[in-house]
Amino acid sequence: MATQLADRGERQGSGRRAGWWALVFLALAQFMVVLDGTIVNLALPRLQHEMGISDATRSWVVTAYALAFGAFLLLGGRIADFWGRKRTFVVAAAGFAIASLLGGIAQQPWELIGARALQGIFAALLAPAALALLTVAFPGGKDRGTAFAIFGSITGVGAAVGVLLGGYLTEHVTWRWCFFVNVPIAIVALAGVWSLVSESKAHGSAKYDWPGVILAALGLGSLVYGFTNAERGWDVPQAWGFIAAGIVLLTVFVLVERRAKHPLLPLRVATERNRGAAFLASFLAGAVLIGGILFINLYIQIVLGFAPFLAGLASLPMTVVLIITAGLVAKNLPKLGAKIPTGVGPVFMAAAMLWLTQVSAQGSYLVNMLPALLLLGIGLGMVFVPMQNLALFGVDRDDSGVASALVNASQQTGGSLGIALFSTIAAAATAGGVSPAALSAGYAAVFLWAAGFAILIAPIALVLINIDRHKFTGTDGDAPAVHLG
């Protein structure tokens, strides 16, 4: 009997060690996915010059990744569940490495943008597979909470490292290493998961909603392409035509999802008022974060003249404040509930963007940038934590994967549309000028619109969120919240 207990204890200890090692490699993959959302930002001015990319096309280097990531994330979650999470992870990691290699050796703008889109597609497979494998590796207990907290913190760390690493590689090596750096990371993550993690699949019918996939991808792509073409004027057919087509396609998508037996997006997930508030807030926050930060980096480099690595350091205060604020909000969420931080955070975000509207050719980092970056970090930290919790609150177990994918897809989609719209606004405000004064005027117009996007989150939170804070945090014993990290 004693020998059996000892053997069982040894097996449990071995299983725990394998789980923690699995976390290392799964977190490494998540780090790579987040890293690529920001690593190219500070390389944009230099790669644009070297490859002869126009201002209109420049935004697609960032947009292609965010758009493909957001458009295929729901499908990626379904494929991971039914095809096999480990198998999906291995294929996605290998594909991400190949796409990164193609981006690094690209000689033409279309090759670079295509590689970015391919990265986004494989990221849409990799991210949900990694999260699902983490759930399997840590099925419950205190270890699960710790593992998810570590995994969740990778998002902030990856975004910060992406900015710094992108700036350093662009300045001291070459912007092409912003792509090449993913290859060894992907290989190490793939090898670790291959050797340590067991395969797992979801039960049930493995049927995919291909009409929904096609309609969602074409609809979102049409919207982004239309907003990008609006840079030449809102009356050109390539602008209003594609925007109208995108709206029609997404409307048809909703109608198809209502009738589909195995919908890509079960509408019950998105239409519950509290979760709906989370998805809308994620969409708007993505536009402000991904779209707004792009133009902050452009102002710091092009107008203020910061070298890429120094520009990365200049952006760091926002990330540090965001991580600190998110930690404080998470700790006090049982006292605050969801409505207060989600309603107050957008005020800080809007204030930051309004501060940035004062940028000028004679501006300075300490006066024009630093206060806004600190305010923006506070606001985003207050919004992200309750938003992620709301997205999974009260959701059926069978829909948890879709709900977690949808909150990320909303953010990426908002970011891609934000970049397209803000690029058009900047072009209209500069009226073709390339002087620091003209560029500053364009960036100021962008920041004003970003402030409008940010403040819209507040009424959404105040009107739609109606969960009692005790129920939201599970302190009344009913329907505890599910935390992403």
Question: Tokens 């340590």 identify what position?
Answer: 196
CA 127 to chain CA centroid, Å, is 11
Whether residue 245 lies inside any domain: the answer is yes
Query: 223 with 343, same domain?
Result: no
Contacts (Cβ under 8 Å, ≥6 apart) of 203: none
Query: 188 with 214, same domain?
Result: no
* Domain around 249: 209-263
Q: Say if CB 260 and CB 240 are below 8 A apart.
A: no
**pLDDT score for 73:** 82
Whether residue 5 lies inside any domain: the answer is no
- d(CA 471, CA 229) in angstroms, rounded, equals 46
Residue ending a domain, choose from 202, 236, 252: 202
In 3D space, the residue among 375, 380, 406, 369 whose CA is nearest the CA of residue 391 turns out to be: 406
In 3D space, the residue among 253, 240, 290, 293 whose CA is nearest the CA of residue 67 turns out to be: 290
**How many domains in the chain?**
3
Whether residue 192 lies inside any domain: the answer is yes
**pLDDT score for 476:** 45
Whether residue 2 lies inside any domain: the answer is no
Whether residue 185 lies inside any domain: the answer is yes
**pLDDT score for 371:** 94
**pLDDT score for 7:** 46
Q: Please compute Rg for the chain using Cα positions.
A: 22
Query: 225 with 191, same domain?
Result: no
Query: 294 with 418, same domain?
Result: yes
42 by Cβ neighbours in 10 Å (0-12 / 13-18 / 19+) ranks as buried
Whether residue 360 lies inside any domain: the answer is yes
Residue ending a domain, choose from 168, 183, 202: 202
- d(CA 371, CA 199) in angstroms, rounded, equals 48
Distances (CA, A) of 461 to 131, 295, 390, 442: 27, 27, 11, 30
**pLDDT score for 457:** 93
Query: 123 with 272, same domain?
Result: no
Query: 219 with 189, same domain?
Result: no
> What single-letter amino acid sits at 402?
V
Quick one: tokens of 225? 């392409």
- d(CA 431, CA 29) in angstroms, rounded, equals 42
* CATH number assigned to the domain comprising residue 485: 1.20.1250.20
Residue ending a domain, choose from 172, 202, 232: 202
Query: 439 with 310, same domain?
Result: yes
Query: 368 with 297, same domain?
Result: yes
Distance between start and end Cα atoms, the chain:
40
Neighbours of 45 (CB within 10 A): 18
**pLDDT score for 475:** 46
Whether residue 10 lies inside any domain: the answer is no
Query: 383 with 328, same domain?
Result: yes
Query: 196 with 213, same domain?
Result: no
Whether residue 8 lies inside any domain: the answer is no
Query: 213 with 352, same domain?
Result: no
Query: 314 with 435, same domain?
Result: yes
**pLDDT score for 313:** 86
- pLDDT averaged per 10 residues in sequence order, the chain, 485 residues: 46 59 85 82 84 80 83 82 86 95 92 93 88 74 65 66 81 89 93 84 72 86 79 75 89 89 81 85 86 86 87 85 83 80 92 94 90 92 80 67 75 82 85 83 92 94 79 46 36
Distances (CA, A) of 184 to 36, 85, 197, 439: 14, 21, 20, 38
